[in-house]
Every structure is written in structure tokens, then in C-alpha cells.
Amino acid sequence: MSAPQISAREAQVLALLGEHLSNAEIAAQLVISVRTVESHVSSLLRKLQLPDRRALARHAAESARTQESHPAPALPEPLTTFIGRVRERRELAEAVRGHRLVTVVGPGGVGKTRLALAVAADVADDFDGVWFVDLVPITEPGRVGAAVAAAVGVGEQPGHGIDDAVLAALAERRALLVLDNCEQVRDGVAPFLERLLAACPRLRVLVTSRARLMVPFERAFTLAPLSRVGGDESEAVALFMDRAAAVGHPPGPAVSEGVVTICERLGGMALAIELAAARWSTLGLDGLATGLSDQLRILTGGPRADDRHRSVRAVLDWSHDLLEPQDQALLRRVSVFVAPFTAEAAAEVAGFAPLDPASVVDGLGRLAEQSLLAVTPSATGTRYHGLETIRQYGTERLADAGEWIDVRSRHLEWCSTGATVLQGASGADWRARFDEVADDLRAALTWAADRPERRADAHRLAVSLAELAFSRNLLGESQQRYEQAAGLADDTAGAAALRQAAAVAGCRRLGDDMFRLHRAAGEAARRAGDSVGAGCDLAAAATVAYRFSTSFTRIPPAEEVVAMLAEARVLSGDAPDAAAAVALAEAAVVADAYGALQGDTDNTAQETVGCAERAVTLARRTGDPVAESAALDALSGARSWTGDAFAVAAAARRRIDVLASVPPGPDGTHELMDALAMAAGTALGVGELAEARRWGSRLADHPLLAEAGHHATSWLLVADAFTGRADGSKKGSARAVAFAPDGDTLVTAGFDGTVRNW
């Protein structure tokens, strides 16, 4: 009996029933009427053949547990049937079950990806998670971990890189990871997998590549072309027959001998056979045989080992030569896209003479009909893409046609414009829109950054990508792009980019990076002749050393920081912004609430408060809310020495009010996260439990802390415990444990880095 079909809305209702919510609570959460909920409950009882509501709740809970222990494999759904490979399929499945890392090795077009997908589906029940990662769009070896993280669905945790997040997510999982098309980023894949496999003892990895990775644990599985044994009953012929039938003209028995000959000439290479079959309906047997014979004859000679490569190249050349000139131009020009693209994007990038932009849509359809492009539906419309072998062929043709620079430049312009549009966009589909173009933005940036005449364009795109990555909660990439932008600009713009990179490092709670980047910004500003800016940057570095000392792996020596502050005073002069920055650093030094640098502790409490109040006054005059909040934080720390807990709490609350108008950029976000944590903690200190819950809830719900439960929930967890909210405490504890760096520790309410074993 097939499983009962329930609607998406019924599935939502069922899940909430599993959480034991009432009809009214379900209605409120889903924004529907109670009567509608009642209707869905009745429908579920009928479809699932259950007696009552309690049985529904039990069913929902059991289903949730099953999905958690054996989630559906995250594998792409092939558009065509899988033909043949019975023996290879069985042997590869056995290899995956028996070895930590299996690499399917073979030339482009032999069918590595399709076999890997089929085997992953076959063994999925052996694992509690299966994920597929296509590495074709990845142009930078250092982004392999980020691609895996996106597939697995994990984000960066404060204080840790994205690779660490993947390791933490898979550490105890019996999971299967499928990495496809690894050859172009082998330098990134190999070290990443070495570290991943060492840290995740139950993990299995299935790789496809044109060459071995040459890492420990690797078991190579060499994939040969499709078998031609058996004549018209061979695997190669079966594939040709299936694909030819798919275009509406199934070959009959009378031509089977000719099909056998064609498959033999093509060496059993799956891609070559599929491309030839796509032409069956228009050329017939004689046309196929003649065209392929001529093309293969041109490519004869050389080592026998290259025959498989030559057969694919021959069919690609032949398929290309059969296209009209406009379609040839379109095929080579769209090869510049590394990710699936829309018809509109293709028209903008490829639509110039001899190609009419208005004809691009029809041309894409014709290329898809010839199996030179695949059509993929997405949340934002139809998209097109080619197999990597075909895309690489297209880039060769692009260079041969002398269009490489023109098309890459148009692609860069399209990416830059798209990035600008995304920076000003919002809405529920914003994340999906960014994700669909992000790999092309990265590829365009890589190309432009390597060309001296494009450095200005590369700088602008790097800044745009940094801002977009920050909004997408890709903090590690955001910091990386700001630093990249700094290296592509003059010293003035470079200093600005480094300041933003430092702010992102603050959001990541990486004190060492904040300190390094502020110092680098100061040096860039000094080279640009901006002594005031340099003074601000050095003062900021000194402030970080005291204010965020618990986020450092190595706290700078006190004498180094004090000398830096003295230099900042000299550089700053009487400029208001610099004076405020220096005053803040001085307040941080005298407060030194953590005793981090073991500096001078002989200041009286009143002197400490006075210094902090001066910092607040100067910061307020600048009109910069972020500077004022930072000064208020220094004041809060200074007042803690006086024992006035209520004054400390008031200063912490004031910070949140001051930051209310600040847009969600790196500077403001870092400051707000710190302010919310301090407001929640100081409210607990004076017994204002409702206020503590309020600020703790805002902190826990902050999108940048979605993957950092141990930090985000710490104050809320304590507030819930003190107010008797058992459910809240339970959920908070579960989230904290789930994301804690160590399963035996929780970051409790308190300053960052205060860890208590439970």
C-alpha cells in the first residue's frame, strides 16, 4: 500500500500536533483560523486512519524521530534513467561500505557522476545522512569547506571557521558525503578531507575526479567506459536506444547493427553516446555514421590510452559543427557561467553580434534539445547549465573565437550589476536569489583580481560580495572579501575595507584578527597620509585588546598596547573622531575589568568612572552611535568597580537605545550583540528577570547567532531558569548542547569565554 498523501499545510499541522499544541496555538502559529485547523486535523485522522488526536500526536513524534535518525538523502534527482553499470554499481556500493574514502576515477564524460548518485541512493539507508556537493562552481580551493557546509546546512560559529562547523556537525554522524568534480580544486579537497576524516570516525566520503586525490584512506575505483560486450544487448547500445527513444524516434531492430558500430566507435563513453543519440531523430543512422567517422578520423593517432578522451572530443566537435553559427556562439559564450543561469542572464552576457539578444531563449531551447544544455527548474524560474565537460569545451571554443576577454568582461559587468541590485533588495526570496548567483560573483571576482586593468572593478565587486556575504550570514567569507578588497585598492580605500574586516572579525569573536586588522588599517591610513585615521585605528586596536580580551588566543603584551595608545595620541591631534577613539581606549585601559593585560590597577574608582564619562561625552559629540555604545560599555565596566549594579544595568540598556537607528552592518551588529548580552546579564544582576528575558530573547534570535546556541542562549537559559520556565530552559539547554564546541561544556551566562563544566 502506498503512503497516504498529505498536503504541505497538513504536514505543518501534524508537526505542531507532535509538539502537543492546541488548535488555537496551531492557528496562531500558522496564521490560519481555528476552524481551518480543525478541518486539517479531521483530514489527517481520515488519511492516516488514526482514532483520535492523541494518536496523531504520537504519530507525528514518531515520524519526527525517524526523520531525525534517517533524513531523506540530499541528492539531486536525475532527469534521465540510469542505464547499465550493474557490476560497477554493486562493487562501488561495497567499496563505500568498506572504506572511509572512495574516489571514482575516470575521464570526463565516462559517467562518474551518474554512477556516484545511483550508488549513494542505494546505500542511503546505511547512513543517518547523505549529502551531495557539486564542486564545479567552486573556483577557489579555500572554499571547499564552505561548499560542504552549505550542502550539510551548517553555518559558521563565532570563534571558529566554517571548516570547524562542518567537523562539528559530522563528528558523531554515520554520514555519507558525495563530492563531485573534484579535479579543479584538488588542492583544496585533499587537505580538507584529511582533516575531516581524521575528526569524523564514522564518516564515509565518495568522490568523483579525473585523478586521485593522493590522501590517506583513499581507495581508487577506476570507472571504465560502458560495456560493448553482447552487441545489440550491451550497456552502451541500451543507453543509445533509451536516449534516442526519449527524443521521439526509437530505433528499430533493423538498425541495431549500425547502432552497435556507432557505440563501438565512441568507445562506450556515456556522454559521447548521449550526444550522438540526441541527433538520431534529425540525421538517422547514415548521417550519424558518416559524421562520426569523419570526425574520429581527424583525431586518430597518438597513444591508445587517449582514445576515450578523443571519442568525447570528437563527438563534441561534431555536435558543435552541426549547430547554426548563432547557436555555436551561444554555446561558447554561456560557458562563462559556472552555475545554472537564466535566459535573461544569457541574453545580457552572450547577446551581441552575431547573436541577437532576442533569439537567446530559442537558442537555449535548441541547445537543450541536443543535450548540450540541461534545463533545471528553480525557485526563481527556469535555469540552464551544461555538464562540466561541455562547459570546459565551450571555454576552449570561446578562446579560439577570440571572445574570451569580451565575454568575461560582460560577465563581470553582469555580476557587478547583479550584486548592486542584491545589495538594495530584500524579501523572503533574497537568500535564494543570492545563492543562485554567488558562485558566478566569486568566479568573476577571481578573474578580475588577476588582471591589473580590472583591479578597480575587482575591488568594487569584492566589497559588494563582502557586504552580501555578511547579510547572508557567511561571516568568514565576508571578512575574507573585505581583506581581498583591501589588497585591490589604494591605501585610503584599503584602510576602509580593513576596518570593515575588523568589524566582521568582531562578529566572529576573533580578537586576534580584530587586533591585526585594526593595526593594518592604521598602517594603510598612515601610508595614505591620513594621520587622524591612523590614530583612530591604533586606538581601536588598543581598545580591542582590553575590551574583548577573552576572544583572543594570545593577548598582546601590555607594553605593546600602551605604546600603541601613546602613538595614537600623537597621530590624532585635536580631531573629534580621533579624540573620542583615544578616550575610549584610555577608558578601557583604566577600567581593565578583566585584568587582561595586568596593567596599572592603582586608579581610584572615581577616576575610572570619570575617564569613561569623558569617553561617552566625546563619542556623543561625534554623532556616531557605535562609538557612543562602546563608550557606554566602558562606563558600565567602570561603574562596576563602584558596586553600583543599577547604574551598570542602566548604562547597558542605554547602549541598546543608542544603537536602535544603526543599520545592520558589521560595526553596528557586533556592537549590538555585545550590548544585548551585557543588558541581559546586568538585568539579571539587579533582579529584573523580565528585562533579562527580553534582552536574552533578542540575543538568542539574532540571525548571526543561529549556529551558536552555546553563546546565544546563555543569558536566556538562566533567565528562564530563574523565572520557572521549564520548557524554555529545556529548549535553551538543548540548543546550547547541540552547538557547544565540547559536549561536556556549556558557555554559561557571563562574559565570553567563561566556561563552566556541567
The pLDDT tens digits of the residues spanning 217-244 come to 899 999 988 988 888 889 999 999 999 8
Among 538, 548, 489, 491, residue whose Cα is nearest residue 517 = 538
175 vs 132, 167, 472, CA distance in Å?
Answer: 11, 12, 26
| pLDDT, greater one: 730 or 63 | 63
DSSP string, 128-149: S-EEEEE-TT--SGGGHHHHHH
Q: What is the pLDDT of residue 6?
A: 67
Q: What is the pLDDT of residue 304?
A: 44
- CATH fold of 419-655 reads 1.25.40
Q: What is the pLDDT of residue 307?
A: 54
Q: Which residues contact 87 (CB under 8 A, 6 or more apart)?
A: none
Residue 122 has pLDDT above 70, yes or no: yes
Q: What is the pLDDT of residue 752?
A: 39
Q: Which residues contact 59 (CB under 8 A, 6 or more apart)?
A: 14, 18, 48, 50
In which band, very low, low, confident or very high, does the pLDDT at 35 lie, cut at 50, 70 and 90? confident
Name the average pLDDT for the chain: 83
Would you call 156 helix, strand, or coil by DSSP? coil
In this structure, are residues 339 and 435 in contact, taking their beta carbons and an 8 Å threshold?
A: no
Across residues 88-108, what is the average pLDDT? 94
b/e map 122-160, b = 16+ CB within 10 Å: ebbeebbbbbbbbbbbbbebbbbbbbbbbbbebbbbbbb
Residue 60 has pLDDT above 80, yes or no: no
> According to the 3-state scheme, what is the secondary structure of 445-483?
HHHHHCCHHHHHHHHHHHHHHHHHHHHCCCHHHHHHHHH
Q: What is the pLDDT of residue 755?
A: 29
Q: What is the pLDDT of residue 71?
A: 54
Residue 744 has pLDDT above 50, yes or no: no
Residue 2 has pLDDT above 50, yes or no: no
Rounded to two decimals, the pTM is 0.77
In this structure, are residues 654 and 634 in contact, taking their beta carbons and an 8 Å threshold?
A: no
Q: Which residues contact 210 (CB under 8 A, 6 or more apart)?
A: 105, 106, 107, 108, 183
Please give the Cα distance from 512 to 470 (Å, whole number).
20
Q: What is the pLDDT of residue 714?
A: 66
| pLDDT, greater one: 27 or 694 | 694
Across residues 393-408, what is the average pLDDT? 95
> According to the 3-state scheme, what is the secondary structure of 516-558?
HHHHHHHHHHHHCCCHHHHHHHHHHHHHHHHHCHHHCCCCCCH
Please give the Cα distance from 374 to 114 (Å, whole number).
14
In which band, very low, low, confident or very high, does the pLDDT at 717 lie, cut at 50, 70 and 90? low
Measure the N-to-C terminal CA separation of the chain; round to a whole number of Å.
49
739-747 CB contacts, 8 Å cutoff, 24+ apart? 739/157, 739/168, 739/707, 739/708, 739/709, 739/710, 740/709, 740/710, 741/157, 741/160, 741/168, 741/710, 746/710, 746/714, 747/710, 747/711, 747/714
The pLDDT tens digits of the residues spanning 520-577 come to 999 999 999 999 999 999 999 998 988 888 889 898 888 888 888 889 888 987 888 8
In which band, very low, low, confident or very high, does the pLDDT at 441 lie, cut at 50, 70 and 90? very high
Which residues are paired to 105 by β-bridges? 209, 222
Q: What is the pLDDT of residue 575?
A: 84
Give the three cell numbers for residue 619: 563619542
Would you call 603 helix, strand, or coil by DSSP? coil
- CATH fold of 323-402 reads Arc Repressor Mutant, subunit A (1.10.10)
DSSP category for residue 248: T
Across residues 597-615, what is the average pLDDT? 68
Residue 758 has pLDDT above 70, yes or no: no
Mean pLDDT is lowest, of 123-127, 281-285, 514-518, 597-601, for 597-601
In which band, very low, low, confident or very high, does the pLDDT at 178 lie, cut at 50, 70 and 90? very high
Q: What is the pLDDT of residue 746?
A: 38
The pLDDT tens digits of the residues spanning 179-212 come to 999 988 999 999 999 999 999 999 999 999 988 9
Q: Which residues contact 429 (CB under 8 A, 6 or more apart)?
A: 379, 380
Give the three cell numbers for residue 478: 565576508
Q: Indicate the burial class of 293 (C-beta count within 10 angstroms; 0-12, 13-18, 19 or more).
A: middle
**Beta-carbon neighbour count of residue 78 at 10 Å?**
12
Q: Which residues contact 55 (CB under 8 A, 6 or more apart)?
A: none
The pLDDT tens digits of the residues spanning 496-533 come to 999 999 999 998 889 999 999 999 999 999 999 999 99
Among 662, 694, 663, residue whose Cα is nearest residue 680 = 694
Residue 363 has pLDDT above 90, yes or no: yes
Q: Which CATH class name applies to 86-222?
A: alpha beta
| pLDDT, greater one: 750 or 343 | 343
**Angle (nearest 5°) at CA 114 between 112 and 118:** 115
Assign domain 8-69 to its CATH architecture: Orthogonal Bundle (1.10)
In which band, very low, low, confident or very high, does the pLDDT at 294 lie, cut at 50, 70 and 90? confident
Mean pLDDT is lowest, of 327-341, 462-476, 510-524, 597-611, for 597-611
Among 558, 563, 564, residue whose Cα is nearest residue 520 = 564
